[in-house]
Amino acid sequence: MNALITGASKGIGRAIAEQFAAEDYNLVLSARNLSDLERLGSELKEKYPHICVYTVVADCGKIEDVKHLADVTNAHFPVLDVLVNNVGVYVAENLLDEADDTLSRQMNINVYAAHYLCKYFGRKMRERQSGHIFNMCSVAGVKPLVNWGSYCVTKFALMGLTKVLREELMEHHVKVTAVLPGSTLTNSWEGYGVDWEKDRFVAPEDVASAMINALKMTIGANVDEITIRPVKGEIVEV
């Protein structure tokens, strides 16, 4: 089985990569930071020498990088079983006071990259009549949150993309799942002065294990949405 994971070098993406590797998936891992990406690739190859692990440096805010990532992945894996659109960026700002380019910067990474990869690999999955696409949405994509501004806008858009894709691909036996984590313990919270008590967050490993469970469903079952929130609710004081 073969999978592409974007935003794979840290946080949720890294946890997904580790658990997919443990399940014997061959991987293409993408991120912007070369050293972090190569370190992860080396660790996985050493721990799971029977799988293939390829790393591709890509800035998913640039469409040319996204297209290159798709082409390289297809060269490695002409059959891609799982696409994980995990890459994302979060800017904590009030919608009315944010910079003029805040929305466009987040749309490029949070929506347009996933849109292109969904189309590129979705067509191949449709033709093959199999495959699974995960889009890393957010609770901010179903409930507006103050001070999350354009980030909420992009996650609402990604939820819309995922729902349309689900309807288009269901008759072709291709599964599509929206993953909606709440506040998760990743480095995206650094610099915001939040309480770093681990019990106040969802663990990245929890998100990854939920996705693994969705992949293990019978052929006739599709998990439309996975929502995982901190037991005490979201951390929004940013």
pLDDT for the residue 135:
98
Pairing of strands 2-5, 82-85: parallel
Lowest-confidence range among 95-104, 167-176, 225-234?
225-234
Please compute the mean of the pLDDT values over residues 218-227 and round it to a whole number.
Answer: 95
Nearest residue to 85 via CA among 139, 45, 122, 124: 122
Q: Measure the CA–CA gap between 200 and 18, rounded to whole angstroms.
A: 23
pLDDT digits (tens, 9 = 90+) for 113-129: 999 999 999 999 999 99
Q: Does the structure show a pLDDT above 90 at 236? A: no
pLDDT for the residue 59:
95
Going by C-beta distance under 8 Å and a sequence separation of 6 or more, which residues neighbour residue 61? 89, 105, 108, 109, 113
Confidence of residue 238 (pLDDT cuts 50, 70, 90): very low
Instruction: Decide if 83 contacts 131 (C-beta within 8 A).
Output: yes
- Compute, in degrees rounded to 10, the torsion defined by CA atoms 11, 224, 145, 202: -40
pLDDT digits (tens, 9 = 90+) for 184-220: 655 654 555 555 566 677 889 999 999 999 999 999 9
Q: Which of 62, 151, 163, 175 is catalytic?
A: 151
Q: In whole angstroms, how far apart are CA 238 and each of 92, 136, 149?
A: 7, 21, 12
Task: Give me the percent of the chain exceeding a pLDDT of 70.
Answer: 90
pLDDT for the residue 65:
97
Average pLDDT, the chain: 90
**Based on C-alpha coordinates, what's the Rg of the chain?**
17
Task: Give me the percent of the chain exceeding a pLDDT of 90.
Answer: 71
pLDDT: which is higher, 238 or 222: 222
Please compute the mean of the pLDDT values over residues 42-64 and round it to a whole number.
Answer: 95
Highest CATH level, class, for 2-228: alpha beta
Its pTM stands at 0.90
Q: Which of 48, 120, 155, 175 is catalytic?
A: 155
φ, ψ for residue 202, nearest 5 deg: -80, 140
**151 carries an active-site annotation:** yes
φ, ψ for residue 56, nearest 5 deg: -135, 115
Sheet containing 82-85, strands listed edge to edge, beginning at the edge strand earlier in sequence: 53-57, 26-31, 2-5, 82-85, 132-136, 175-181, 225-228
pLDDT digits (tens, 9 = 90+) for 127-161: 999 999 999 998 877 788 777 788 899 999 999 99
Instruction: Map out the domains of the chain as residue ranges.
Output: 2-228
Confidence of residue 176 (pLDDT cuts 50, 70, 90): very high
pLDDT for the residue 147:
77
**175 carries an active-site annotation:** no
Nearest residue to 179 via CA among 15, 1, 9: 15
Beta strands of 35-131 (E only): which ranges? 53-57, 82-85
pLDDT: which is higher, 101 or 224: 224
pLDDT digits (tens, 9 = 90+) for 23-33: 999 999 999 99
The DSSP line for 3-42 is EEESS-SSHHHHHHHHHHHHTT-EEEEEES-HHHHHHHHH
